């Protein structure tokens, strides 16, 4: 790390909180329906269950639920920007973040914007936030990643579905993680995963997507090293985007091979083993995934204070970024481990018929008055659709 990097103002993640859904579908239930060995899911893709939204839950309710504890702890002073990253947007014009801004009671002197680039967008939001805080260290920026991953029923991607939101407060002198420069960047025009405006469920070419991800790992790491980044051996752990948790392992093996290290499975486990605990029971949360990996690492690891962590953020289509952060000494005093585990444990298991009904639930598009069934026990809910307007309330 250069001397110039060491003398910059420390900016990074001051607080992190996540939320997920009311319901969960165990992969044993999906396997029984499909007549499949559960090992196909548990070991083949590294998934054990998937979060399933209630009828009155969406990216707004999850985002607000994730961010509310951050606002309660730190207040609203200095939060002049809210960035919401999603690839399961509810509106082609209005940012979902504006609804969240209202539910959280943030002040009117705030800029709010929604970002999109598949699963990568939250990292773009993080980088934008870092720039704002570096230019004015008195500011704090709320970055929220919120997504519902949805594929066609009985499709190959069905078992990787999930839903969650992660809220991060970006500030100077952060309590959790200082984000470093440089970043390694990579973009390639690839049709590995996409969702046209006329579709609710995404389209995916599974093998193309795996290949595009692995190419992006190499490309972003190559740029990172050329920009003067850390050596591979310096990192205590690596947080990868996890469309399914075994993909992180594929990606890390690719990185080790690319760097001429060969694949040492003990090293792979050491580097990644603690980062999959939330993703493997929540499922793919798109933009939130890599930051759920960070939450899992911080909530479980022995003291990482002062040690660097590598991040590989990937979004299909495709854009990737490799960057580093150093864990702040004393970070454990600021974690939300009990709340995070409670968010996972509170979910109610559903049978396959109930899951399918929730998957197929949607509002009519006639502009009428449509009341949403009251199902969530979370703090916010989508109450109705009236005149094409989404109505949210505190539950």
380 near 64, Cβ under 8 Å? Answer: yes
Segment 309-327, tens digit of pLDDT = 999 999 999 999 999 999 9
pTM above 0.85, yes or no: yes
Tell me what pLDDT residue 5 has: 42
Segment 193-251, tens digit of pLDDT = 999 999 988 888 888 999 999 999 999 999 999 999 999 999 999 999 999 999 999 99
Instruction: Give the angle 7-13-16 at the CA atoms, nearest 5°.
Output: 165
Give the model's confidence band at 2: pLDDT under 50 very low, under 70 low, under 90 confident, else very high. very low
Rounded Cα–Cα distance for residues 283 and 286 (Å): 9
- Across 21-48, average pLDDT: 97
Instruction: Give the angle 131-136-138 at the CA atoms, nearest 5°.
Output: 120
Q: For a pLDDT cut of 70, what percent of the chain falls above it?
A: 98
Segment 166-196, tens digit of pLDDT = 999 999 999 999 999 999 999 999 999 999 9
Residues 6+ apart with CB under 8 A from 229: 182, 184, 322, 324
Segment 94-133, tens digit of pLDDT = 999 999 999 999 999 999 999 999 999 999 999 999 999 9
Tell me what pLDDT residue 206 has: 84
Q: Average pLDDT of the chain?
A: 96
Tell me what pLDDT residue 201 has: 85
**Overall domain count for the chain:** 1
Tell me what pLDDT residue 200 has: 86
Active site residue ranges: 87, 119, 241
Contacts by 5-9, CB closer than 8 A, 24 or more apart: 5/180, 5/181, 8/134, 8/181, 9/134, 9/137, 9/172
374 near 57, Cβ under 8 Å? Answer: no
Cis amide leading into 318 (omega within 30): yes
**Is the pLDDT score of 6 beyond 60?**
no
Segment 332-343, tens digit of pLDDT = 999 999 999 999
Tell me what pLDDT residue 20 has: 98
Tell me what pLDDT residue 7 has: 52
How far out from the chain centre does Cα 314 lie? 11
**Is the pLDDT score of 153 beyond 90?**
yes
CATH number for the domain harbouring residue 313:
3.40.47.10
Strand order in the sheet with 23-26: 49-52, 23-26, 348-349
Q: Which range of residues forms the domain containing residue 205?
A: 3-394
| Residue entry with tokens 């995963």 | 193
Q: What does the longest C-alpha to C-alpha distance in the chain come to?
A: 62
The 3 state secondary structure assigned to the chain is: CCHHHHCCCCEEEEEEEEECCCEEEEHHHHHHHHCCCCHHHHHHHCCCEEEECCCCCCHHHHHHHHHHHHHHHHCCCCEEEEEEECCCCCCCCCCHHHHHHHHHCCCCCCEEEEECECECHHHHHHHHHHHHHHHCCCCEEEEEEEEEECCCCCCCCHHHCEEEEEEEEEEECCCCEEECCCCEEEECCCCCEECCCCCCCCEECHHHHHHHHHHHHHHHHHHHHHCCCCCHHHCCEEEECCCCHHHHHHHHHHHHHHCCCCCCHHHHHHHHHHHCCCHHHHCCCHHHHHHHHHHHHHHHCCCCCCCEEEEEEEECCCEEEEEEEEECCCHHHHCCHHHHHHHHHCCEECCHHHHHHHHHCCCCCCCCEEECCCCCCCCEEEEEEECCEEEEEEC
Residues 6+ apart with CB under 8 A from 99: 60, 64, 390, 392
**Is the pLDDT score of 78 beyond 50?**
yes
């Amino acid at each position: 790390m250069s001397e110039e990097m060491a003398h910059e103002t420390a900016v990074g993640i001051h607080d992190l909180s996540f939320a997920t859904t009311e319901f969960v579908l165990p992969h044993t239930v999906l396997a029984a329906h499909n007549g499949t060995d559960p090992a196909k899911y548990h070991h083949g893709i590294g998934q054990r269950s998937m979060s399933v939204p209630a009828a009155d839950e969406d990216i707004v309710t999850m985002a607000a639920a994730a961010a509310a504890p951050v606002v309660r702890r730190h207040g609203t002073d200095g939060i002049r920007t809210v960035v919401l990253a999603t690839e399961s947007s509810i509106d082609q014009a209005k940012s979902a973040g504006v609804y969240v801004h209202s539910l959280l009671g943030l002040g009117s002197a705030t800029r709010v914007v929604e970002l999109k680039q598949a699963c990568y967008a939250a990292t773009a939001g993080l980088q934008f936030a870092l720039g704002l805080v570096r230019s004015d260290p008195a500011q704090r920026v709320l970055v929220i990643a919120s997504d519902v991953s949805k594929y066609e029923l009985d499709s190959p991607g069905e078992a990787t579905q999930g839903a969650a939101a992660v809220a991060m407060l970006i500030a100077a002198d952060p309590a959790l993680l200082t984000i470093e420069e440089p970043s390694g960047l990579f973009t390639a025009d690839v049709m590995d995963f996409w969702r046209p405006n006329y579709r609710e469920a995404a389209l995916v070419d599974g093998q193309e997507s795996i290949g595009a991800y692995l190419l992006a790992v190499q490309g972003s790491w190559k740029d990172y090293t050329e920009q003067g980044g850390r050596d591979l051996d310096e990192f205590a752990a690596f947080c990868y985007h996890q469309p399914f948790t075994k993909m992180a392992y594929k990606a890390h093996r690719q990185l080790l091979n690319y760097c001429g290290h060969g694949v040492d499975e003990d090293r792979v486990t050491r580097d990644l083993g603690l980062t999959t605990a939330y993703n493997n029971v929540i499922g793919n949360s798109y933009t939130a995934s890599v930051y759920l990996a960070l939450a899992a690492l911080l909530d479980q690891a022995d003291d990482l204070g002062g040690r660097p962590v590598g991040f590989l953020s990937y979004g299909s289509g495709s854009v990737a970024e490799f960057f580093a952060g150093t864990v702040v000494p004393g970070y454990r005093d600021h974690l939300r481990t009990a709340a995070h585990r409670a968010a996972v444990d509170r979910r109610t298991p559903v049978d396959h018929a109930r899951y399918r009904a929730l998957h197929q639930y949607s509002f009519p598009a006639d502009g009428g008055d449509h009341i949403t069934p009251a199902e969530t026990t979370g703090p916010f809910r989508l109450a109705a659709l009236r005149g094409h307007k989404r109505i949210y309330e505190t539950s």
